[in-house]
């Protein structure tokens, strides 16, 4: 599949607004959808697309465009609150979100725990190794954090806590 074919297939299910902040989208929307997708790690695009097609269920990343409150679940850029807060503290941050390698999402009809369990059960079918966040400050998270930060020492589906 060519890059254009991949992008066109991805755009059947997702829009750039779902993966970028309102400020980034406003600034660069005149450059078009391919501009935005070219800024994402190709492994992330392929993995999200594979999940969406395999499950056949709607996935929600950012929903700010439709009046929702999610705007930092895809790429986190210098306009987003999380990045601004860390920058004020001179805190170096190599988050998968900052590196365009990760996304947080909900999937229709499943809890985050059920979806993580499913991803683990299909590990051998996944197009790329993934990491899944399980707990934040000791509490199970209610969304799915998936990234493609591939450490060759980790299993194909690596679950971690922050």
pLDDT the model gives residue 86: 79
- Single pTM value for the model: 0.93
CA distance linking residue 14 with residue 48, whole number of Å:
9
Q: What is the CA radius of gyration of the chain?
A: 15
pLDDT the model gives residue 93: 75
100: phi > 0 → left, psi -120 to 50 → alpha, else beta; which? Answer: left
User: What is the longest distance spanned by two Cα atoms in the chain?
Assistant: 43
For the chain, list the domains and their CATH numbers: 3-161 (3.30.1380)
Q: Parallel, antiparallel, or unpaired for β 102-107 and 130-136?
A: unpaired
The SS3 call for residue 57 is coil
**Residuewise pLDDT in 10s, the chain (162 residues):** 899 999 999 999 999 999 999 999 999 999 999 999 999 999 999 999 999 999 999 999 999 999 999 999 999 877 887 777 877 788 777 789 888 999 999 999 999 999 999 999 999 999 999 999 999 999 999 999 999 999 999 999 999 999
CA distance linking residue 16 with residue 116, whole number of Å:
24
């Amino acid at each position: 599949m060519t890059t254009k074919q991949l992008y066109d297939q991805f755009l059947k299910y997702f829009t750039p607004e779902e993966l970028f902040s309102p400020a980034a989208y406003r600034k660069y929307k005149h450059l078009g959808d391919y501009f935005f997708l070219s800024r994402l790690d190709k492994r992330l695009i392929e993995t999200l697309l594979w999940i969406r097609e395999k499950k056949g269920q709607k996935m929600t990343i950012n929903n700010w465009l439709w009046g929702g409150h999610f705007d930092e679940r895809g790429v986190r850029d210098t306009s987003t609150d999380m990045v601004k807060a860390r920058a004020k503290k001179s805190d170096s941050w190599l988050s998968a979100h900052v590196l365009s390698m990760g996304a947080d999402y909900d999937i229709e009809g499943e809890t985050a725990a059920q979806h993580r369990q499913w991803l683990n059960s299909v590990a051998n079918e996944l197009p790329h190794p993934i990491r899944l966040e399980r707990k934040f400050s000791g509490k199970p998270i209610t969304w799915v954090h998936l990234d493609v930060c591939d450490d060759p020492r980790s299993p194909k589906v690596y679950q971690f806590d922050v």
